[in-house]
Amino acid sequence: MSKKILIIDDEDDIREVAALSLETVAGWEVIVANSGAAGVERAKKDRPDVILLDVMMPGMDGPTTFRELQKAPTTSSIPVILLTAKVQSADQRRFADLGVRAVLTKPFDPLLLSSQIESVLGW
């Protein structure tokens, strides 16, 4: 059964590379949103199996978006994996303390992205 993944990132090139990678390598259905607010709406509407969420976005950042997803009964159980260029251990701990499933660093390897997600989620 094919998985459905929502990518929430304000950078067009990151969304495109991640989407192409996950569609091509894993054969997953990919939906995208270019902001936190749009991502919350897409998650409620499309109910993805997992959400890849950028940390640094204008307006609603990743941690705020994650908290919004946790408030809604329709999206609170969807696993969220953060994507970030911040790799300091203090940042990593702060992100882990949010309750996300994992934190993946940017830039990511497009050929390994799906296997990293599968490993984190036990797929």
In the predicted model, residues of the chain with pLDDT beneath 50 are none
Using CB atoms within 10 Å of the CB of residue 48, give its burial: 0 to 12 exposed, 13 to 18 middle, 19+ buried.
Answer: buried
List the chain domain ranges.
4-118
CATH topology for 4-118?
Rossmann fold (3.40.50)
> pLDDT tens digits for 12-42?
999 999 999 999 999 999 999 999 999 999 9
Task: Enter the pTM of the model.
Answer: 0.93
Q: Which of helix, strand or coil describes residue 108?
A: coil
Q: Which of helix, strand or coil describes residue 91?
A: helix
Output the CA–CA distances (angstroms, integers) from residue 115 to 35, 36, 57, 82, 121, in the order listed.
Answer: 25, 25, 25, 15, 10
